[in-house]
């Protein structure tokens, strides 16, 4: 039996269109109003927050903090990735981003940027990751 045959693509090649989606099963019951409320001013600027940006609280929750803000500050007493925050708070990632943008503006949290892929990767970084994996 021969396997099916693929054809490789090259960088910059136009992408195939996304498939038409069926009904949004998981999204159907989502209440857009709630997203809007937590997100606040949806037209506002968002901080550049990656899934693996590490967030650390800089202060105790102030009295004026909303429950969502207070929750973030309590969770981030130790560094926590934005993805983990989104998971623990059960908030869609973009909603969390809005929340964090606000907390960053108020200087209540600090964001530690991730190390992203470079055209030529940092070999020391790759070696560190390899050594870490070898300990598993």
Nearer to other proteins, 64 or 67 (CB): 67
Q: Which one, 5 or 64, has the nearer CB to other proteins? A: 5
CB of 21 to other proteins, least distance (A): 5
Tell me the closest approach of the beta carbon of residue 107 to other proteins, in angstroms: 18
What is the C-alpha separation between 131 and 99, in angstroms, rounded?
36
111: number of Cβ within 10 Å: 18
Nearer to other proteins, 41 or 105 (CB): 41
Cβ at position 106, least distance to other proteins in Å: 17
Report the DSSP beta bridge partners of residue 56: 110
C-alpha dihedral, 97 to 101 to 106 to 108, nearest 10°: 40
């Amino acid at each position: 039996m021969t396997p099916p045959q693929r054809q490789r693509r090259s960088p910059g090649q136009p992408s195939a269109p996304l498939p038409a989606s069926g009904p949004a099963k998981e999204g159907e019951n989502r209440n857009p109003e709630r997203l809007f409320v937590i997100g606040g001013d949806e037209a506002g600027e968002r901080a550049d927050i990656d899934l693996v940006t590490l967030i650390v609280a800089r202060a105790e929750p102030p009295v004026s903090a909303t429950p969502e803000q207070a929750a973030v500050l309590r969770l981030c007493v130790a560094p926590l990735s934005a993805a983990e925050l989104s998971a623990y708070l059960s908030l869609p990632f973009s909603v969390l981003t809005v929340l964090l943008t606000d907390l960053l503006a108020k200087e209540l949290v600090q964001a530690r940027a991730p190390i992203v892929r470079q055209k030529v990767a940092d070999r020391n970084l790759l070696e560190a990751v390899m050594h870490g994996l070898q300990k598993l």
